[in-house]
């Protein structure tokens, strides 16, 4: 998330970029007459779960916490298109689910795209997005959809959460982004609820914050498309301050943000719901080593992933990623 955290939940726009750390999912049919599903997802601690296609995610229940988004995708796909046989699914991730880089949305995009390819059901990217929102809502009853849009479409996007939702790909040159993990896995729903509680207590002030964030997104879009990194960095700094006002900053994220700025970054901010996870910084090539060194010295773990990456795609055979 480049700009617009939390405000996007309340029908404001945001700017988001897809990172090139990928989730790989291999899908294959079971034998004719076999209507079971099995999931092997070792990266989230799931060695093997199995169930029936008809029983997948019934009453909002999954076989394991680590497979709930896949099972929800199976259920939504089954309800919309039918499944005439079972499916075997194996996942492998380039990144840890602890990082808060949209692993759940990547899972949903992979599962739905893989199922549509495997069962020969043509789905447009926009349809994939709309169906994916249903999958996510069945699991967590909330979600703005910006990370799902990035996982599906790829690239760097302007995403407006007002109806009808807009997903606008931006023509953006190489984005000099540095990503660092705080070492703390954040619980996104908890921080979404925290902001909701603050909105209930202070509706005028918090809606004012959201409106300012929307303006930062509009200005940021102009800066992005013009590759005006100093200006975008200033906007990122302001966004971080507004996130702090919403109560989602932590000592760990603040420490990394200020160290990145001190080391010469154009700007830095937490990225996502807050409470930990990752921070991002803009750093020109000649300052990048110093910024990365400063972040590591402050306890951050550099995430080696580049922005503006491709979205969901078939790699080979029946593998979707």
C-alpha dist (Å) from residue 39 to 33, 113, 195, 199: 18, 16, 35, 39
- For a pLDDT cut of 70, what percent of the chain falls above it? 96
- Give residue-wise pLDDT tens across range 100-149: 556 889 999 999 999 999 999 999 999 999 999 999 999 987 778 999 99
Q: Are strands 177-181 and 301-302 parallel, antiparallel or unpaired?
A: antiparallel
- Give residue-wise pLDDT tens across range 149-183: 999 999 999 999 988 899 999 999 889 999 999 99
The pTM (predicted TM-score) of the whole model is 0.90
- Show the domains of the chain with their CATH numbers: 23-154+309-320 (3.30.230.10), 173-302 (3.30.70.890)
- Give residue-wise pLDDT tens across range 22-63: 889 999 999 999 999 999 988 878 888 999 999 999 878 888
109: left (phi over 0), alpha (psi -120 to 50) or beta: alpha
C-alpha dist (Å) from residue 60 to 15, 69, 112, 140, 152: 31, 11, 18, 10, 24
* pLDDT greater than 80 at residue 99: no
pLDDT at 320: 47
Mean of the per-residue pLDDT values of the chain = 92
* pLDDT greater than 80 at residue 321: no
- Give residue-wise pLDDT tens across range 231-268: 999 999 999 999 999 999 999 999 999 999 999 999 99
């Amino acid at each position: 998330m480049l700009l617009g955290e939390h405000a996007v939940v309340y029908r404001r726009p945001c700017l988001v970029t897809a990172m090139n750390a990928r989730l790989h999912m291999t899908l294959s049919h079971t034998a004719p007459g076999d209507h079971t599903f099995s999931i092997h997802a070792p990266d989230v601690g799931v060695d093997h779960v199995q169930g029936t296609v008809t029983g997948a995610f019934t009453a909002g229940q999954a076989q394991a916490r680590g497979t709930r988004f896949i099972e929800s995708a199976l259920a939504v796909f089954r309800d919309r298109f039918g499944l005439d046989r079972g499916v075997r699914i194996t996942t492998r991730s380039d990144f840890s689910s602890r990082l808060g880089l949209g692993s759940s949305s990547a899972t949903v995009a992979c599962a739905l795209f893989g199922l549509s390819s495997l069962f020969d059901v043509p789905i447009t990217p926009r349809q994939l997005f709309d169906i994916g929102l249903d999958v996510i809502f069945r699991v967590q009853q909330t979600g703005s959809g910006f990370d799902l849009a990035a996982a599906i479409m790829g690239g760097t996007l302007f995403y407006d959460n007002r109806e009808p939702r807009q997903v606008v790909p931006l023509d953006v040159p190489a984005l000099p982004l540095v990503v660092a993990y705080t070492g703390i896995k954040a619980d996104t729903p908890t921080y979404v609820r925290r902001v909701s509680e603050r909105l209930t207590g202070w509706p005028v002030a918090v809606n004012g914050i959201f409106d300012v964030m929307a303006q930062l997104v509009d200005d940021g879009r102009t800066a992005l498309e013009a590759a005006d990194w100093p200006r975008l960095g200033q906007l990122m700094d302001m966004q971080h301050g507004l996130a702090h006002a919403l109560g989602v900053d932590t000592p760990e994220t603040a420490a990394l943000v200020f160290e990145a700025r001190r080391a010469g970054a154009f700007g830095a901010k937490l990225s996502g719901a807050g409470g930990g996870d990752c921070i991002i910084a803009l750093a020109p090539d000649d300052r990048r080593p110093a910024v990365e060194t400063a972040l590591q010295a402050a306890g951050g773990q550099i995430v080696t992933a580049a922005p503006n990456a491709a979205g969901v795609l078939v790699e080979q055979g029946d593998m979707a990623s």
